């Protein structure tokens, strides 16, 4: 885990990252294994630009990126981002045979 945020004045919507962390724990890797390999980072790129990234091993039997099989967690985050941050964020979700990756960048200054 990497956290590089040193600006105490930064404010983000509460609980915004929780669904991504829950999905990484719930869907990450082999369901029989209690050990999860999750990489998480929260970084302030420049004043007011925050980046959250999480990567976990992909469960090849689970298509959580498929809209027909999605739970409500990721869809709710997308709706909240649109309501709160409108055109000030970028959300990338990628799944391949090995990893499930989420990268969220929010421009908290609105620039």
pLDDT at 62 over 70: no
Supply the pLDDT for residue 69.
56
pLDDT per position as a tens digit, 64-110: 454 445 568 899 999 999 999 999 999 999 988 889 999 999 998 86
Supply the pLDDT for residue 96.
86
pLDDT per position as a tens digit, 2-61: 556 566 677 889 999 999 999 888 877 666 665 668 899 998 877 789 999 999 987 655
* Domain map (residue ranges) of the chain: 2-107
Supply the pLDDT for residue 6.
63
Q: How far is CA 70 from CA 62, 64, 103, 111, in A?
A: 10, 5, 18, 32
Supply the pLDDT for residue 11.
83
Helix (H, G, I), strand (E, B) or coil at 91: strand
Supply the pLDDT for residue 68.
47
* Pairing of β 49-57 and β 99-107: antiparallel
Supply the pLDDT for residue 67.
44
CATH of the domain spanning 2-107: 3.30.565.10
């Amino acid at each position: 885990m990497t956290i590089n945020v040193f600006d105490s004045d930064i404010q983000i919507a509460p609980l915004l990252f929780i669904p991504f962390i829950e999905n990484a724990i719930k869907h990450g890797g082999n369901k029989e294994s209690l050990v999860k390999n999750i990489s998480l980072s929260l970084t302030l790129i420049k004043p007011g630009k925050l980046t959250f990234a999480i990567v976990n091993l992909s469960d090849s039997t689970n298509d959580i990126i498929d809209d027909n099989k999605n739970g409500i967690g990721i869809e709710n985050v997308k709706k909240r981002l649109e309501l709160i941050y409108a055109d000030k964020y970028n959300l990338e979700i990628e799944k391949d045979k090995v990893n499930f990756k989420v990268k969220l960048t929010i421009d908290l200054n609105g620039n």
